[in-house]
């Protein structure tokens, strides 16, 4: 897994108009320069917000990518929840889960 590379791609996609145009016209070619695993490529191309979240993509970066893909805010949040249920706990990054998926935490 290459969390840095996928984060770099999504960060640049959020900021670079040329990359946005390239992604819309030929997404596979646009992401080719980034060293992504097959799982990461698939998650970006689908787009699978839940899997990207589980892979460890920062929520701020992911939020902009979801909006770019036309995903509404409430759907974006639900896709992250569904991603944890489907793919398991967040694997890396600042959101890595220290508790079980069904474990209650203080205040909940």
Q: What is the chain's pLDDT, residue by residue, as a tens digit (108 residues)?
A: 589 999 999 999 999 999 999 999 999 999 999 999 999 999 999 999 999 999 999 999 999 999 999 999 999 999 999 999 999 988 887 777 555 656 665 554
Cα 33 from Cα 73, distance rounded (Å): 29
Q: Name the 3-class secondary structure at 102.
A: coil
Overall domain count for the chain: 1
The maximal CA–CA distance of the chain, rounded, in angstroms, is 47
What is residue 65's three-state secondary structure?
helix
| Residue 92 forms part of a structural domain | no
Residue 102 falls within a domain, yes or no?
no
Q: CA 85, CA 81: separation in Å to the nearest integer?
A: 7
Residue 41: which CATH number?
1.10.700.10
Q: What is the domain range of residue 43? A: 3-87
For residue 93, tell me if it sits in a domain: no
Task: Give this prediction's pTM.
Answer: 0.85
100 within some domain:
no
Alpha-carbon distance 37 to 52, whole Å?
12
């Amino acid at each position: 897994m290459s969390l840095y590379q996928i984060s770099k791609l999504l960060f640049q996609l959020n900021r670079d108009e040329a990359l946005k145009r390239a992604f819309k016209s030929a997404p596979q070619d646009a992401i080719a320069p980034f060293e992504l695993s097959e799982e990461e490529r698939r998650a970006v191309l689908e787009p699978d917000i839940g899997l990207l979240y589980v892979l460890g993509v920062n929520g701020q970066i992911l939020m902009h990518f979801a909006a770019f893909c036309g995903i509404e805010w409430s759907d974006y949040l639900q896709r992250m929840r569904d991603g944890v249920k489907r793919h398991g706990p967040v694997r890396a990054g600042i959101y890595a889960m220290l508790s079980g998926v069904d474990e209650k935490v203080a205040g909940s």
